[in-house]
Amino acid sequence: MRFNHILTPAIFLLLAAGLLIISYWFEDSYLWLSFSLVFLTILFFLVRFEGRTIEPKELVLLAVLAAIAAVGRIPFASIPSVQPTTFVIMIAGLVFGAESGFVIGAVAALASNMIMGQGPWTPWQMVSWGLVGMTAGAMKNTPIMNTKLGRLGFGIVWGFLFGWIMNIWGFLGFVQSGGPIDLKAFLVYIGASTLFDTMHAVSNVVFLLLFGDIWIKILTRFKRKYGLLE
């Protein structure tokens, strides 16, 4: 068990390093390699998740949170970038920790896309939302996540960061190197999505302002009441 704890990250790190070396040789396949890296990241977390023995209670709790996050996307589907999903994943990660946060984010993305349609964007959304949950969980003991202002800042940063991560695959698909893969083109590309990213950030702030405290309270009460995912 302890052996696995060191071995799995080591294997995945080696694989990731191998991918980077390959990308040095094959300069014209960034899109392909970035997809592999994203898959590797997801797989790493899934393997870790499989390695833990999880109580049914915890499993169902994770599913409820992921389902609420996924359901939240559907009524907002017509307004681009505005959805409570990021908010729900952030709060869930904050209360239940980094690893649960990643799993909730990834599952919410995968499950909601099973309803709204899968596409090449699915793995990227899984990683982006997974990272939202993970960072929120990792920073749960820092002053940032324990003050309202800090949480708002976190929501704004992720509103943009989420868009930028999603831009990477769009951008790589768009140029695939050989073409203009310079900073200028990338900045122009990112600039084009600023409006949507701002809407995402603003919606995060609105949800956090109105419902942040009460949701944290509800989830924390549950965690204590049933001794879940301590």
Partner 1 sequence: MGTRFARFHPLVSFLFYAGSVMLLILMLHPVFQVISVFLIIGINIIHDRLAGLRKWKYLLLVTFVLMVVLNPLFNERGRHLLFMAGDHRITLEAVLYGGMNAFSIIGIIAVFISYNVIMTPNKVLFLFSKFLPQFAVLLMLTLRFIPLMSRRMEEISLVQKSKGIMVTNGNWRTRVKTAFSYVQALLTYSLEEAIQTADSMKARGYGTGPRTSYEFFRIRSKDSIAIVILTLLLSIIIYGRSLGYGVLTIYPMMEDWRLATWDTAVLICYILYLSFPIYVEAGEAFRWHLSN
Question: Which residues here bind partner 1, judged by CB under 8 A?
Answer: 29, 31-32, 35, 46, 49-50, 52-57, 59-64, 66-68, 70-72, 84, 103, 107-108, 110-112, 114-115, 117-120, 173-176, 178-180, 185, 188, 210-211, 214-215, 218, 222, 226
Give me the least distance between CB of 219 and partner 1, in Å please.
Answer: 8
Written as one string, the DSSP assignment of 179-210 is S--SHHHHHHHHHHTHHHHHHHHHHHHHHHHH
DSSP at 111: H
CB of 66 to partner 1, least distance (A): 5
Give the Å distances, CA to CA, from 229 to 96, 140, 211. Answer: 6, 14, 23
Specify the residue, 76 or 157, whose C-beta has the smaller distance to partner 1.
Answer: 76
For 53-62, the CB contacts below 8 A with 24+ separation are 55/228, 57/226, 57/228, 58/228, 58/229, 61/96, 61/222, 61/228, 61/229, 62/96, 62/100, 62/103, 62/104, 62/107
Least Cβ distance, residue 114 to partner 1 (angstroms) = 5
Q: Which is nearer to partner 1, 143 or 179 (CB)?
A: 179
- In the complex with partner 1, which residue's Cβ is closer, 66 or 145? 66
Amino acid identity of residue 136, one-letter, is A
* Contacts for 223 with CB less than 8 Å, ≥ 6 apart: 95, 96, 229, 230
Q: Tell me how crowded residue 89 is: count the other CB atoms within 10 A of its CB.
A: 33
Rank residues 58 and 161 by Cβ distance to partner 1 and give the closer one: 58
What phi, psi does 219 have (nearest 5°)? -70, -40
Of 142 and 194, which has the nearer Cβ to partner 1?
194
Shortest gap between Cβ of 91 and partner 1 (angstroms)? 10
Nearer to partner 1, 50 or 141 (CB): 50
Q: How far is the CB of 143 from partner 1 (least distance, A)?
A: 27
Q: How far is the CB of 161 from partner 1 (least distance, A)?
A: 23
